[in-house]
Amino acid sequence: MYYHKVQYYETDKMGITHHSNYVRWMEEARIDFMEKLGYGYDRLEAEGIISPVVSLSCDYKKSTTYPDVIGIEVKVVEFKGLKLLLEYIMTNQAGDQVFTATSTHCFLNENGRIIRISKDKPEFYEAINKGN
Residues in the chain: 132
Q: Using one digit for the tens of pLDDT, what is the confidence trace for 3-54? A: 999 999 999 999 999 999 999 999 999 999 999 999 999 999 999 999 999 9
Q: Give the C-alpha separation, 121 to 100, whole Å.
A: 30
Catalytic (active site) residue 12: yes
Domain count, the chain: 1
Q: In what order do the strands lie in the sheet with 97-106?
A: 2-5, 69-79, 83-91, 97-106, 53-60
Residue 45 sits in which domain range?
Answer: 2-130
Q: Using one digit for the tens of pLDDT, what is the confidence trace for 50-78? A: 999 999 999 999 999 999 999 999 999 99
> What's the pLDDT band for 131 if we cut at 50, 70, 90?
low
Q: Give the C-alpha separation, 51 to 71, whole Å.
A: 24
Active-site hit among 12, 42, 59, 96: 12
CATH number of the domain residue 65 falls in: 3.10.129.10
**According to the model, what pLDDT value does residue 121 have?**
92
> What's the pLDDT band for 132 if we cut at 50, 70, 90?
low
